[in-house]
Chains A and B, each alone.
Chain A
Amino acid sequence: MILAHIRLADVRCHCALETNLGPRINVVVGGNGAGKSSVLEAVCLDLQGNSPRTHRVTDCISVGKDHLRVEILLVPESGTERNSEEACAGAADAAGQRQTTAAVSFMRTGERRHTADGRVLKKADRWAKLAPVHTFFPDDLRLIKGGPNRRRQFLDDLVSARNSEYALSVGRYAKALAHRNALLQRGDIGSQHDPWEWILAEEGTAIVETRAGELAVFAPLYTCIHGRLTSGVSEGIKLVYRTNVGGLNVEEYRNILADQRAGDCRRTFTHSGPHRDDIRFMLEGIDLREAGSQGEQRTALLGLILSAAESVAASTSIRPILLLDDVMSELDYARRRALIALLAEGGQSIVTTTDLHHFEEEEIQDITVIRLESPSSSGTEVRPDDEMTEAT
């Protein structure tokens, strides 16, 4: 599905904002404080149920207002068709999918309400499959620089999109791990561990094997896309899978867990297993997490987001929507060209920028431009820039 129309009410500095979106690259242009990032944030609030910028969603509600609302019209992707109007009307039933309005309201009291065409949804996860969203916020380098939790989550999301058995394994593993850790915390290192270690070993070997296999497919794609972003100046980024239980069969794995009971009991947690896995980003022998420059880390992250979208699109035939915040100012001339070429090959994307001059004349031909007044005042209606858009 693609986003055909979006309407925000009382999201940060936007009292009321409404705009059509094109099926390919969309550029939101505005000065500092015009609320460009808030448009991307609003998409996440609606389709993911959270904000990539804050975990306190009430922060997103305009000052002095008691709730915010986001409404997005989702329409089926129309193959190679580039006209948003036709995408809205004609192709609606083509893929057996109909257009849907995904809306969310967040109250200052903490309540929220997700709806699909007005019907209340229990959770926002309905949209994760239909209209998955991948975001890039340049100040959020936690995926590259932070602890391994986010990288494991990234890995799990990547693999789950291609392998439905995998999420079950991960769920069973996590529960069994919690039971074993409960025994450790109680100081129990006896035969009660047996069944849980059995389950951990079976699921653990399956998880490690699946992760390694999926990364073997994903890593070359990543190296390739990152290489295009960096015009191939480096020898190429390498994604390296790290695990402390690699190459073990179930029996060997069980023996390791049994041997480590006493030590694990002192630590009160389980040392060995895929819950400690990590991935490293190696650029010319340097671990980017430890020694990369901010620029290198940002490019590594951008490449990762683009590659993940490509991987999901290839395996599920649903193209994720890319939300890239202020990405152009980070890149030099050649890298901007490479990024726009990559985006043009992909599905729908929304890119924010302060300066439209980051785009070349001929690139703009294929781009939907959305201009934000700064700061947006009440009742302003923003429309895609007609002069600049071929589509309308």
Chain B
Amino acid sequence: MDELAKLPGIGPKTAQRLTFYLLRVPVEEALPLAHAIVEVKETMRFCARCFNLTEQELCAVCRDPRRDQQVICVVEEPSDILSIERTHEYRGLYHVLGGALSPLDGIGPEKIHLQELFERVEAEPVKEIIVATNPNLMGEATALYIAEQLTKQVASGRLRVTRPAAGLPMGADLEYADEVTLGRALSGRRDL
């Protein structure tokens, strides 16, 4: 039960409920779940380029040659990619930071994949960075930090750093934004 309670979004009460459920279901139903967990650990990893979840060296987006190689959409978590893909509005690449800047929680630039992003900007033919971090204070600060760090490239005219347009609910997670709102926000983005 303690193990279950460690999972994100699972409190002690839910952990208890899950434990009772697992006690009730027959072994043949419980085993596939156990196998699935082992499989995730053994086969899933982070994409070497964008830190999306994948079973291979590069994720499906990075492997797809039809994706626009000149645009990178920066998100906090791999689950944000799923939300954006559902809109069918976006055809570029991604970069998963694995979090947002939060000095209060001791999360500085070195704790998330920012350095890797800046390296990609140098190495790849990128023309635009869309910073789609969550529309809360930490996500915003992360977006501003990225814009500030890339000032030179922007000034030289070879790069745009943009943010999805307002309209996303303030303080919300990207994950919970509906497809229409998210799609609209992506198409109507502004320069940072």
Residue ranges of A at the interface with B (Cβ–Cβ < 8 Å): 168, 172, 175-176, 178-180, 182-183, 186, 188, 191-192, 194-196, 198-199
B108 and chain A: residue at smallest CB distance: A192
Of A172, A183, A195, the residue contacting B148 (CB under 8 A) is A195
**Contact mask B61-101 → A, CB, 8 Å, 1/0?**
00000000000000000000000000000000000000001
Residues A199 and B149 in contact, CB atoms below 8 Å apart: no
A175 and chain B: residue at smallest CB distance: B137
Residue ranges of B at the interface with A (Cβ–Cβ < 8 Å): 101-104, 108-109, 137, 140-145, 148-149, 170
Q: How distant is the Cα of A175 from the Cα of B149 in the complex, in angstroms? A: 22
B145 and chain A: residue at smallest CB distance: A195
What are the residues of chain A within 8 A of B141 when measuring CB–CB? 176, 179, 195-196, 198-199
Residues A183 and B144 in contact, CB atoms below 8 Å apart: no
What are the residues of chain B within 8 A of A175 when measuring CB–CB? 137
Residues B104 and A182 in contact, CB atoms below 8 Å apart: yes
If A172-B137, A175-B137 touch, whether A195 touches B142 (CB-CB below 8 Å) is yes
B149 and chain A: residue at smallest CB distance: A191
Residues B137 and A183 in contact, CB atoms below 8 Å apart: no
Q: Which of A176, A179, A186 has the most CB of B within 10 A?
A: A179
What are the residues of chain B within 8 A of A186 when measuring CB–CB? 103
Residues B144 and A198 in contact, CB atoms below 8 Å apart: yes
B161: min CB distance to chain A, Å: 13
B125: min CB distance to chain A, Å: 26
3 pairs of A and B residues whose beta carbons are closest in the complex: A195-B144, A195-B141, A182-B103
What is the interface of chain B mostly: helix, strand, loop, or mixed? Answer: helix
B102 and chain A: residue at smallest CB distance: A179
Q: How distant is the Cα of A168 from the Cα of B101 in the complex, in angstroms? A: 21
B162: min CB distance to chain A, Å: 16
Residues B145 and A183 in contact, CB atoms below 8 Å apart: no
Residues A192 and B104 in contact, CB atoms below 8 Å apart: no
B178: min CB distance to chain A, Å: 22
What are the residues of chain B within 8 A of A176 when measuring CB–CB? 137, 141
A185 and chain B: residue at smallest CB distance: B103
A331: min CB distance to chain B, Å: 47
A190: min CB distance to chain B, Å: 9
A186 and chain B: residue at smallest CB distance: B103
B147: min CB distance to chain A, Å: 8
What are the residues of chain A within 8 A of B137 when measuring CB–CB? 172, 175-176, 179, 199
B137 and chain A: residue at smallest CB distance: A175
A176 and chain B: residue at smallest CB distance: B137
Of A168, A172, A188, A199, the residue contacting B144 (CB under 8 A) is A199
Of B103, B143, B149, B170, the residue contacting A179 (CB under 8 A) is B103
A289: min CB distance to chain B, Å: 33
What are the residues of chain A within 8 A of B101 when measuring CB–CB? 192, 195
A179: min CB distance to chain B, Å: 5
